Structure 1
Amino acid sequence: MERGISPIRLNEYLQEVGGDLNRAVELYVWNSRMAAECFATIGHLEVLLRNAVDQVFKEYCKEDERGIPWFLQLCSGLNDEDLASIAGAREQNAKAKRPDSRDRIIATLTFGFWSHLFNAKHEELWRQCLYKVFAQGINPHVTRKTIAGLVESVRITRNRVAHQNFLKAFDIPKAMQDVFRLAYLISPQYGEWLERDASRWREVYDQCPQIDTDTLIVPGRVAWDIYQYQPIYVCKPERFFRDMRYLAFYENRSIRSQIPMILRVFDQVPWNEEEAQRLCASDDVMNRKLGHALEWAFSSEGREVAHGWANSENGYKVLLLTPCRGSKQGDDGHLVLPNGDIPHMRSGAYVQNHRYASSHDLLVARSTDDLRYSIN
């Protein structure tokens, strides 16, 4: 199995399970099933998207009246790159000895062709007709930029699952949310069918054989308030936490949707302005980030948000985190829960001192009852 899969390809899976070859292969099989299910769901979306665009262009270019397919009309508004893609599709059909029919050409055009129609180069086409692809243009909140972001997210996911890249560390729930959101914007009925009946991604996702408790959950309104200004979590020095990848905040009976990645843990940080200046002058980027956070802590805003910082001769323990943001951006590991905050429905506090959970579960949970891998 190791030779067949190749040591290089299997290496990520081995690292995930501590070198256990049997468990690595089990995870590899799950990864293939997960990729296949995501790819099939995106395939359904691709059919919807291309048919919706085709219909809009057909009407815009008065295809029935002129008798010429919109993608062959000089007045279509397509650029040279688009026309080259169309020519490539026709050439591909010719080589395969398939008919050069209108429907065959539409089916042969790649997802990249359809997704590129919503980039900035097609702003004029968006204003003229492409906006009609989405809910017949009746949704004033849909912009070309919004659609471009969604189709790019779907394109990246499509490429990742098509090559069966490692998905354990990939934000599958966010990726699939973008797929369904795009489908709903084109056709609410189709979107509902796709999410509820045609896709089994959640079932496969829940069957992941390697789910770790990798998230530290801490309580407190002040801690959450501070994080929204500075990417830190501050607590008493030498407080023991297990080695975790992420940190989550439990506040107002909910786990907040921001799940920052823990970049570095500093223990017994001297809490004074001299230390802030020393850290800001460091050659280490993480030290500088901590220094800037300390400078903020001594500002009037920092003191107000934290309701004053209690004196500590031994300093504080500080967890340096990825910053708060409106949505998941970049590749820094930061997570934003696609379903929003996770409420705690039962009586009593879900977290009192601290708690550990799985980011795998957090990404799909609707309430704290869905957190299977959660321990005190």
Structure 2
Amino acid sequence: MANRMPEWMLRDLSLPRLRRYIRAAHGDARAAERLYWWNIEVAAALLGSLHCLELALRNALHNALVRHHGRPDWWTVAPLNERGLKLVEDARRSCGRRLRSTTPDDIVAELSFGFWVSLLSHGSGYDRHFWVPVLHSAFPHYRGRRDRIYRDLTSLVLLRNRVMHHEPVHHRHLAADHDTIYRVLGYLSPELAKEAQTMDRFRAVLAGRADVLGGARPPRF
């Protein structure tokens, strides 16, 4: 059993980050290296489907709220809670630092995945003020309860943030995560879900995990 990673990995990637992989590999440093690289490979394979879901959700919710309120800056009249208003203001300020003038589309693009998912929550009466009158219509292929889709999306926000912040995801039930991405995407747009699946390499990457961790093939990302 190997017991030490290369010095350059410890220097360039940092021991505190690598310790999580060493623990997962039960102290085998060589296995931890392979797990680290495979984690990048599988995170990269999830990025495309997460990209499609985040943009489809953002646009579906935004378009529904524009129709409902009759204006592109619907957040100025919608019953957002204090945190929601702060996130919109933060997005406006961020755009203002980069752009000479800010449009509603700029703010929409700046708002986080978590913001859009929060509109489907129960808190602050969002179920009554957003889901019941308008946001259920953003999911034309879904007839279930709000709490189920909110639970699915909350889990995917955590996954998305771990992928985007280069955190471990190898310990998650990634096959279930992947299924959830496409299930929710199908509620929004079956056409986009079908097209994305033709380009998706996630299942091949997942199936190759044992080969990478066993050293039978090198990871690729």
TM above 0.5, yes or no, is yes
- Asked if 1:134 is matched to 2:139, the reply is yes
In structure 1, the partner of 2:89 is: 87
Contact 1:153–1:178 (8 Å) recurs in 2: no
Q: Map of 1:242-253 to 2, 5 A cutoff?
A: none
Q: 1:178 to 1:139 in 2, by over 3 A?
A: closer
Shift of 1:185: 0.8
Shift of 1:14: 2.6
In structure 1, the partner of 2:73 is: 69
Q: 1:198 to 1:2 in 2, by over 3 A?
A: same
CA distance in 1, matches of 2:198, 2:100: 33
Q: Map of 1:1-376 to 2, 5 A cutoff?
A: 1-63=9-71, 69-72=73-76, 74=77, 76-97=78-99, 99-121=101-123, 122-124=126-128, 125-135=130-140, 139-140=142-143, 142-194=144-196, 196-208=197-209, 209-210=212-213
* Backbone CA RMSD of aligned residues: 1.9
CA distance in 2, matches of 1:3, 1:139: 49
CA distance in 2, matches of 1:139, 1:148: 12
CA distance in 2, matches of 1:52, 1:111: 13
Contact 2:47–2:163 (8 Å) recurs in 1: yes
Deviates more, 1:24-33 or 1:120-129: 24-33
Question: Helix, strand or coil for the counterpart of 2:213?
Answer: coil
- What do residues 13-46 of structure 1 show as CA deviations (whole Å, max 9, x unaligned)? 2344454433322221111121222233212211
Using the size of structure 1 for normalisation, the TM-score is: 0.50
In structure 1, the partner of 2:219 is: none
Shift of 1:62: 1.8
- Name the aligned partner's letter for residue 210 of structure 1: L
In structure 2, the partner of 1:268 is: none
Q: 1:169 to 1:58 in 2, by over 3 A?
A: same
Q: 1:185 to 1:8 in 2, by over 3 A?
A: same
Contact 2:159–2:169 (8 Å) recurs in 1: no
Question: Helix, strand or coil for the counterpart of 2:132?
Answer: helix
- Which structure has more RCO (C-alpha within 8 Å, separation ≥ 6)? 2
Using the size of structure 2 for normalisation, the TM-score is: 0.83
Q: Comparing both structures, which one devotes a greater share of its residues to helix?
A: 2
In structure 2, the partner of 1:355 is: none
- Name the aligned partner's letter for residue 44 of structure 1: C
Gaps of at least 5 residues in structure 2 are 1-8, 215-221
The count of residues paired between Structure 1 and Structure 2 equals 201
Q: Comparing both structures, which one devotes a greater share of its residues to strand?
A: 1
- Name the aligned partner's letter for residue 193 of structure 1: E
Consecutive aligned runs of 4 or more in structure 1 exceeding 6 Å deviation: none
Question: Helix, strand or coil for the counterpart of 1:40?
Answer: helix
